[in-house]
Structure 1
Amino acid sequence: MSYSYKCYSDTKDFMKKFVNAEEGAIIYGISKSRIIVIAREAGAVYKVGNSALINTELFEKYLERFREPARELPKHTWNKLKEMTNTPKTGENS
């Protein structure tokens, strides 16, 4: 039997609305116990019989609250990079 592994970006267009904790852990790259805690905080847990399902739409909306904006690298880092690429290398024979 062979297994088919797909990354999250390949399956995002046809993802399930509800997943269990194990599937959610694979999709989001978080441990099962941590995903349950976050899903409870988000109000995205639905108990169906003995199983708990996570609403991925509510879960992702909750995660977006913690998104950090992109930051530029400090200017001195860029200047050092330019200096390193523009300076001639020592010890080389021309």
Structure 2
Amino acid sequence: MKDNYKPIKSMKEVPEQLRKLRREYIRYQQAELIYSLSHKKLLELASDAGAIYRFDSTVLINRDIFDAYLERFHEPATSKYRGGDEE
């Protein structure tokens, strides 16, 4: 049983392992659950991002392209207080 155990050598390996396991292309139904967006809004954003791949009757979204596009909408924190020390 101990032979099956493989310790992680460094904390840097964890994100690398997760990236390998993560799917690069997902279907609309999966994306709706992952991103908590309606079908219509997801279609609009994925289309604007250029992340849609269509072939036959299958539609896929490239997660890397879509995630990079979503980062454009990230708003930085606006609170002038840090660490929760409010006076």
Measured against the shorter chain, the TM-score band is 0.5 to 0.7
TM-score (norm 1): 0.63
**Unmatched runs of 5 consecutive residues or more in structure 2:** 1-17
Aligned length: 66
**Runs of 4+ residues deviating >6 angstroms:** none
Which of the two has higher C-alpha Rg? 1
For normalisation by structure 2, the TM-score amounts to 0.68
Structure 1, unaligned runs of 5 or more: 1-12, 80-94
2:28 aligns with: 21
Hey, what does 1:61 align to over in structure 2?
68
- 2:54 corresponding residue in structure 1: 47
Distance 1:16 1:46 in 2: 14
- State the Cα RMSD in Å: 2.0
Distance in 2 separating the partners of 1:34 and 1:51 = 19
Q: How much has 1:72 moved relative to structure 2?
A: 1.2
